[in-house]
Amino acid sequence: MAMAERFEARWLPFRFVLAVVLLVLTTDRASVLLRAEATPIGINYGQIADNLPSPARVSWLLRSMQVSKVKLYDADPYVLSAFLDTGVEFVVGIGNENVSAMVDPAAARAWIQRHVQPYLPATRITCITVGNEVFKGNDTELKANLLPAMQSVYQALAALGLQGTVNVTTAHSLDIMGSSFPPSAGAFRADVAPYLQPILSFLSMARSPFLINCYPYFAYKADPGNVPLEYVLFQPNAGVTDTNTRLNYNNMLYAQVDSVYAAIQALGHADIDVKVSETGWPSRGDPDEAGATPEYAGTYIGNLLRRIEMKQGTPLRPSVPIDVYVFALFNENLKPGPASERNYGLFYPDGTPVYNVGLRGYLPPMDYSQGTRKVRSSPVFLC
């Protein structure tokens, strides 16, 4: 036997064993990371883009970051399937364009049977949002149909035996507030309150949370000369004292949340939890969008995540850890509007972090070696 043949004969078994060992080591490393204790960080997973990684790869990325909660704006079957048996909690959404149809009980039941029931319990769907920022627009029919649609979805869940497993709510923009400072004087707009009063009664009955989208960045962008940067970025500052409660607020987000609590209480409810369904800071914007930089975005998100990990509450409810969904996972290149709208992501679509906030994750590379796209076993580690 020639030297080359003898070497190849001995090398092949060794190469096979080496490949198996490396695969086991890689798998074990990934498994340890995926089993690590999850932190109470929620992430909004938007998909208004044409260059995002597959849901299977995103599943690896989010779990490696120890993200425990994900919020969707729809009920994407590919995403829900990619998170089977992962333990990650999901909020799924019914878009504004479908809200009025949900008033029909049969339509609501069919939607749940198609988009929710098939994935339970393997995928942990815990909440359905019916519409998003409905009161920001001028569609009076949509506003009038919101509560009946929520009630219809809730009743359909009950009929299917899912009441208590999946709750029902809707997400609001902060411009539903007529007054937000001082926080104790928080009040809903006069034109919105008649809609919100019965919605609050529904949320109280259903034991569902009130979701609010809060962006201190908007306040800074609108008036950078008078809104202290330290106050909106969770940096050390003297804070602002509420003259009614004597509570001190050292950041705008907590003041916004407590103003919503005050507005809810003013309408007679003290039993509804407020959750921040969106908050974020853009890393890039148009020339007239002050503060849209990677530095400020990283500071805002990094300081916020530290407070979430500390299970910190607001001054009004210090014992109740603030519940936040960061916006967003990826930059979304097809979102309309100013440049900032396309630059709220923690990651670029290729998995590269937009800025460093201490989250460690990995996105498996794609394997095109056999002419088909599939996720390879070995991960790429990112910081």
* Tens-digit pLDDT profile for residues 317-329: 999 999 999 999 9
Catalytic residue among 5, 89, 133, 332: 133
pLDDT the model gives residue 357 = 87
pLDDT tens digits, residue range 24-46?
333 344 444 444 456 678 999 99
pLDDT of 131 above 60: yes
pLDDT tens digits, residue range 348-368?
999 999 999 877 777 877 643
Segments in the chain forming alpha helices (H): 3-35, 55-64, 77-82, 96-99, 105-115, 140-159, 193-206, 216-222, 229-232, 252-266, 294-309
pLDDT the model gives residue 139 = 96
The mean pLDDT value for 168-196 works out to 97
The mean pLDDT value for 320-342 works out to 97
pLDDT of 147 above 90: yes
The mean pLDDT value for 287-301 works out to 97
pLDDT tens digits, residue range 204-241?
999 999 999 999 999 999 999 999 999 999 999 999 99
**Looking at per-residue confidence, does 19 or 217 come out higher?**
217
Least trusted range by pLDDT, from 3-17, 212-226, 336-350? 3-17
CA distance 33 to 285: 35
pTM for this predicted structure: 0.87
CA distance 337 to 56: 29
Which residue's structure tokens are 């519409």?
A: 131
The mean pLDDT value for 271-283 works out to 98
Q: How far is CA 330 from the centre of its chain?
A: 11
The mean pLDDT value for 127-145 works out to 97
By the 8 A CB rule, do 65 and 359 touch? yes
CA distance 91 to 346: 19
pLDDT tens digits, residue range 150-162?
999 999 999 999 9
CA distance 258 to 317: 8
Residue length of the chain: 383
Average pLDDT, the chain: 88
Tell me whether residue 278 is one of the annotated catalytic residues: yes
pLDDT the model gives residue 40 = 74
Catalytic residue among 89, 278, 289, 332: 278
Our CA dihedral for 153, 155, 161, 162, rounded to 10 degrees, sits at 40
By the 8 A CB rule, do 43 and 71 touch? yes
CA distance 293 to 221: 12
Mapped onto helix, strand or coil, the DSSP state of residue 102 is helix
**Looking at per-residue confidence, does 375 or 346 come out higher?**
346
Let me know if 3 is exposed, middle or buried by CB neighbors in 10 A (0-12, 13-18, 19+): exposed
Distances (CA, A) of 377 to 25, 57, 70, 94, 361: 11, 11, 24, 34, 15
By the 8 A CB rule, do 129 and 211 touch? yes
By the 8 A CB rule, do 230 and 222 touch? no
